Amino acid sequence: MMQIKMNNFSKITMAILFVGLLSGCDKINNTSRTLDTMFGGDYEVHILGHETPYIVTNGKITSVPEKGYYVFYPKINGKKTLVQSPIQITTIIKID
């Protein structure tokens, strides 16, 4: 077996590249969440663990990527109510 010896400069360079790669993935994830913001229309919002979907009529659903959730106002018992749901467990369907 061939053994590769790395000097301190190589180790530091590899560590910096690894950290840079990880932080780059986080930036891409936050950017994709920002692009999830949906304006205007009717939506059906399913949240894992909730039996019935929330219906947003003539409203909007906004993502808050730095906190990891969606914000929307469905009618619950006849009143528009603020709901925040985690992005990872929420499915949004546009109603035509």
- The CATH number linked to 22 is 2.30.30
3 falls within a domain:
no
77 falls within a domain:
yes
pLDDT digits (tens, 9 = 90+) for 28-55: 555 555 555 666 789 999 999 999 999 9
2 falls within a domain:
no
Q: Which residues of the chain have pLDDT under 70?
A: 1-6, 17-39
CB 55 within 8 A of CB 42: yes
The per-residue pLDDT for 5 is 59
The per-residue pLDDT for 39 is 64
Residue 56: exposed, middle, or buried by beta-carbon count in 10 A (0-12, 13-18, 19+)?
A: buried
What is the count of structural domains for the chain?
1
The single residue listed with the structure tokens 């009529």 is 57
The per-residue pLDDT for 53 is 95
Domain that holds residue 39: 8-96
Please list the alpha-helical segments (H only) found in the chain: 8-34
Spatial CB neighbours of 16, under 8 Å, sequence gap ≥ 6: none
Q: How far apart are CA 42 and CA 32, in angstroms?
A: 22
Both tokens of 89, joined, read: 């467990």
1 falls within a domain:
no
The per-residue pLDDT for 19 is 66
